[in-house]
Amino acid sequence: MMLTAYTDGAVLQDGAGWGVLMPGVPERHFAGMLDSRDTVIAELWAVKMAVQQAPRGSALTVYTDSQSLPTLFARHAQPGAQWPRRDLKDLTAKILARTERCGISFSCAWASRDEPGQRAAHQLAAVGRVRGVAATRWSAQLLGQQLELWHDTRRAKRGWVVRLDGSPEVDAALLATLDEMPSEPVPLAVTGASDALVEAIRCMASGRGRTLVI
Protein backbone atom coordinates (compact mmCIF):
# COMPACT_ATOMS: atom_id res chain seq x y z
CA MET A 1 0.00 0.00 0.00
CA MET A 2 1.40 3.37 -1.06
CA LEU A 3 0.37 6.38 1.03
CA THR A 4 1.01 10.11 0.93
CA ALA A 5 0.80 12.59 3.78
CA TYR A 6 1.10 16.37 3.80
CA THR A 7 2.27 17.74 7.14
CA ASP A 8 2.81 21.12 8.75
CA GLY A 9 3.43 22.79 12.10
CA ALA A 10 2.38 26.22 13.36
CA VAL A 11 3.43 28.11 16.49
CA LEU A 12 1.61 30.62 18.68
CA GLN A 13 2.60 32.17 21.98
CA ASP A 14 0.57 29.58 23.90
CA GLY A 15 1.89 26.55 22.04
CA ALA A 16 2.24 24.81 18.72
CA GLY A 17 -0.21 23.12 16.39
CA TRP A 18 0.34 20.31 13.92
CA GLY A 19 -1.70 19.16 10.94
CA VAL A 20 -1.74 16.10 8.68
CA LEU A 21 -3.64 15.57 5.44
CA MET A 22 -3.67 12.03 4.02
CA PRO A 23 -5.30 11.88 0.57
CA GLY A 24 -7.34 8.83 -0.34
CA VAL A 25 -10.79 7.37 0.14
CA PRO A 26 -11.60 8.49 2.67
CA GLU A 27 -9.37 11.54 2.79
CA ARG A 28 -8.19 11.83 6.37
CA HIS A 29 -7.45 14.99 8.34
CA PHE A 30 -5.65 15.07 11.69
CA ALA A 31 -4.73 18.05 13.83
CA GLY A 32 -3.81 18.91 17.36
CA MET A 33 -1.90 21.04 19.84
CA LEU A 34 1.61 20.36 21.12
CA ASP A 35 3.11 21.71 24.31
CA SER A 36 6.01 23.45 22.55
CA ARG A 37 6.94 26.79 21.02
CA ASP A 38 9.44 25.29 18.60
CA THR A 39 8.52 25.28 14.92
CA VAL A 40 10.84 22.41 13.99
CA ILE A 41 9.47 20.23 16.80
CA ALA A 42 5.92 21.00 15.63
CA GLU A 43 6.86 20.05 12.05
CA LEU A 44 8.45 16.80 13.24
CA TRP A 45 5.48 15.99 15.46
CA ALA A 46 3.21 16.24 12.42
CA VAL A 47 5.45 13.73 10.63
CA LYS A 48 5.34 11.49 13.70
CA MET A 49 1.53 11.53 13.72
CA ALA A 50 1.42 10.76 9.99
CA VAL A 51 3.63 7.73 10.56
CA GLN A 52 1.32 6.56 13.34
CA GLN A 53 -1.55 6.45 10.84
CA ALA A 54 0.35 4.30 8.33
CA PRO A 55 -0.48 0.57 8.37
CA ARG A 56 2.25 -2.01 8.85
CA GLY A 57 4.05 -2.89 5.65
CA SER A 58 2.94 0.24 3.79
CA ALA A 59 5.03 2.74 1.84
CA LEU A 60 4.63 6.29 3.14
CA THR A 61 5.87 9.49 1.56
CA VAL A 62 5.57 12.49 3.87
CA TYR A 63 5.70 15.98 2.40
CA THR A 64 6.67 19.06 4.40
CA ASP A 65 7.34 22.68 3.52
CA SER A 66 10.29 22.63 5.94
CA GLN A 67 13.53 22.33 4.01
CA SER A 68 15.37 21.13 7.10
CA LEU A 69 13.28 18.02 7.85
CA PRO A 70 14.40 15.83 4.92
CA THR A 71 18.01 16.70 5.80
CA LEU A 72 17.47 15.73 9.43
CA PHE A 73 16.12 12.30 8.51
CA ALA A 74 18.90 11.74 5.96
CA ARG A 75 21.53 12.55 8.60
CA HIS A 76 20.79 9.25 10.36
CA ALA A 77 22.31 7.43 7.35
CA GLN A 78 25.55 9.41 7.68
CA PRO A 79 27.98 7.86 10.22
CA GLY A 80 29.52 10.50 12.44
CA ALA A 81 27.12 13.21 11.30
CA GLN A 82 27.01 16.31 13.47
CA TRP A 83 23.66 17.31 14.99
CA PRO A 84 22.71 20.90 15.82
CA ARG A 85 20.42 19.72 18.63
CA ARG A 86 20.11 16.48 20.56
CA ASP A 87 16.30 16.70 20.79
CA LEU A 88 16.02 16.76 16.99
CA LYS A 89 18.24 13.70 16.73
CA ASP A 90 16.18 11.86 19.34
CA LEU A 91 12.78 12.65 17.83
CA THR A 92 13.77 11.77 14.26
CA ALA A 93 15.35 8.56 15.57
CA LYS A 94 12.09 7.61 17.31
CA ILE A 95 10.13 8.22 14.11
CA LEU A 96 12.54 6.10 12.06
CA ALA A 97 12.50 3.38 14.72
CA ARG A 98 8.72 3.13 14.42
CA THR A 99 8.88 2.84 10.63
CA GLU A 100 11.46 0.05 10.94
CA ARG A 101 9.50 -1.74 13.65
CA CYS A 102 6.30 -1.62 11.58
CA GLY A 103 7.93 -2.41 8.24
CA ILE A 104 6.98 0.97 6.78
CA SER A 105 8.98 2.19 3.79
CA PHE A 106 9.37 5.85 4.77
CA SER A 107 10.58 8.90 2.90
CA CYS A 108 10.36 12.60 3.71
CA ALA A 109 10.38 15.17 0.92
CA TRP A 110 10.03 18.92 0.56
CA ALA A 111 6.94 20.45 -1.06
CA SER A 112 6.10 24.07 -1.68
CA ARG A 113 3.70 25.63 0.79
CA ASP A 114 1.66 26.65 -2.27
CA GLU A 115 0.84 23.02 -3.04
CA PRO A 116 -2.86 22.35 -2.26
CA GLY A 117 -1.96 19.54 0.14
CA GLN A 118 0.48 21.73 2.04
CA ARG A 119 -2.03 24.57 2.26
CA ALA A 120 -4.57 22.16 3.73
CA ALA A 121 -2.02 20.82 6.23
CA HIS A 122 -1.20 24.38 7.29
CA GLN A 123 -4.88 25.14 7.86
CA LEU A 124 -5.19 22.01 9.98
CA ALA A 125 -2.13 23.02 12.04
CA ALA A 126 -3.64 26.46 12.59
CA VAL A 127 -6.89 24.83 13.73
CA GLY A 128 -4.97 22.49 16.01
CA ARG A 129 -3.07 25.20 17.84
CA VAL A 130 -6.31 27.04 18.62
CA ARG A 131 -8.92 24.30 19.09
CA GLY A 132 -6.61 22.08 21.08
CA VAL A 133 -6.01 24.67 23.79
CA ALA A 134 -9.23 23.98 25.69
CA ALA A 135 -9.48 20.24 25.02
CA THR A 136 -9.37 18.57 28.43
CA ARG A 137 -11.42 15.50 27.49
CA TRP A 138 -13.34 14.15 24.52
CA SER A 139 -15.40 16.88 22.89
CA ALA A 140 -16.90 17.61 19.48
CA GLN A 141 -17.80 20.83 17.73
CA LEU A 142 -19.87 21.31 14.58
CA LEU A 143 -19.01 24.62 12.90
CA GLY A 144 -21.28 24.95 9.88
CA GLN A 145 -20.17 22.11 7.61
CA GLN A 146 -17.06 21.22 9.62
CA LEU A 147 -16.95 18.67 12.42
CA GLU A 148 -14.07 18.77 14.90
CA LEU A 149 -13.42 15.99 17.38
CA TRP A 150 -10.83 16.40 20.16
CA HIS A 151 -9.28 14.51 23.02
CA ASP A 152 -6.13 14.61 25.14
CA THR A 153 -3.13 12.37 24.97
CA ARG A 154 -0.30 12.48 27.47
CA ARG A 155 1.68 15.09 25.56
CA ALA A 156 -0.14 16.19 22.44
CA LYS A 157 -3.78 17.15 22.25
CA ARG A 158 -5.06 15.37 19.20
CA GLY A 159 -8.08 15.77 16.98
CA TRP A 160 -9.86 14.98 13.77
CA VAL A 161 -11.24 17.66 11.45
CA VAL A 162 -13.79 16.67 8.80
CA ARG A 163 -15.17 19.05 6.21
CA LEU A 164 -18.60 17.85 5.07
CA ASP A 165 -18.75 18.61 1.37
CA GLY A 166 -21.59 16.26 0.45
CA SER A 167 -24.26 14.15 2.06
CA PRO A 168 -23.08 13.14 5.55
CA GLU A 169 -24.69 9.73 5.11
CA VAL A 170 -22.11 8.81 2.44
CA ASP A 171 -19.13 10.68 3.87
CA ALA A 172 -16.53 7.98 4.54
CA ALA A 173 -14.25 10.44 6.36
CA LEU A 174 -17.08 11.29 8.75
CA LEU A 175 -17.73 7.61 9.44
CA ALA A 176 -14.04 7.05 10.14
CA THR A 177 -14.03 10.03 12.49
CA LEU A 178 -17.06 8.84 14.44
CA ASP A 179 -15.37 5.46 14.84
CA GLU A 180 -12.56 7.22 16.75
CA MET A 181 -15.00 8.31 19.46
CA PRO A 182 -15.24 6.40 22.76
CA SER A 183 -18.38 4.50 23.69
CA GLU A 184 -19.29 6.96 26.44
CA PRO A 185 -21.26 10.12 25.48
CA VAL A 186 -19.28 12.98 23.93
CA PRO A 187 -20.48 16.61 24.26
CA LEU A 188 -21.27 18.29 20.94
CA ALA A 189 -21.21 22.09 20.55
CA VAL A 190 -23.03 23.45 17.51
CA THR A 191 -22.38 26.76 15.76
CA GLY A 192 -23.91 27.75 12.43
CA ALA A 193 -25.12 24.27 11.48
CA SER A 194 -28.66 23.35 10.46
CA ASP A 195 -30.84 21.21 12.71
CA ALA A 196 -31.09 18.63 9.92
CA LEU A 197 -27.30 18.27 9.71
CA VAL A 198 -26.98 17.98 13.48
CA GLU A 199 -29.64 15.28 13.61
CA ALA A 200 -28.08 13.39 10.69
CA ILE A 201 -24.66 13.30 12.37
CA ARG A 202 -26.13 12.26 15.73
CA CYS A 203 -28.07 9.45 14.05
CA MET A 204 -24.94 8.28 12.24
CA ALA A 205 -23.05 8.26 15.53
CA SER A 206 -25.83 6.29 17.20
CA GLY A 207 -25.80 3.76 14.38
CA ARG A 208 -22.12 3.12 15.11
CA GLY A 209 -22.66 2.74 18.85
CA ARG A 210 -21.55 6.29 19.68
CA THR A 211 -23.44 9.12 21.39
CA LEU A 212 -23.21 12.87 20.76
CA VAL A 213 -25.02 15.00 23.32
CA ILE A 214 -25.79 18.71 23.03
**Strands 139-143 and 186-191, how do they pair?**
parallel
Domain assignment of residue 86, given as a range:
1-128
Is residue 119 domain-shared with residue 103, that is, in the same domain? yes
Label residue 43 by pLDDT band (50, 70, 90).
Answer: very high
8 shares its domain with 93: yes
Q: What is the CATH number of the domain that holds 169?
A: 3.30.420
**Looking at 128, 149, 179, which one is the last position of a domain?**
128
Predicted confidence band of residue 47 (pLDDT cuts 50, 70, 90) = very high
CATH number, domain with residue 14: 3.30.420.10
In angstroms, how far is CA 128 from the centroid of its own chain? 8
Amino acid present at 67: Q
pLDDT band at 165 (very low <50, low <70, confident <90, very high): low
Helices 172-179, 195-207: inter-axial angle, 10-degree rounding = 60
Judged against a pLDDT cut of 80, whether residue 130 lies above it is answered with no
How far from the centroid of its chain's Cα atoms is residue 144's Cα? 21
Q: Which of 116-125, 178-187, 205-214 has the lowest mean pLDDT?
A: 178-187
DSSP 101-128: HTT-EEEEEE--TTSHHHHHHHHHHHHH
Asked which of 128, 150, 173 is the last residue of a domain, the reply is 128
For residue 86, the model assigns a pLDDT of 94
Nearest one of 131, 158, 133 to 142, comparing CA atoms: 131
Q: How far is CA 12 from CA 25, 35, 49, 70, 158, in A?
A: 32, 11, 20, 24, 17
Residues 151 and 45 occupy one common structural domain: no
DSSP state of 144: T
Confidence of residue 170 (pLDDT cuts 50, 70, 90): low
SS3 content of the chain, % helix, strand, coil (to 5): 40, 30, 30
Identify the three-state secondary structure at position 180: coil
Query: Please, what is the average pLDDT of the chain?
Result: 87
- pLDDT (0 to 100) of residue 156: 56
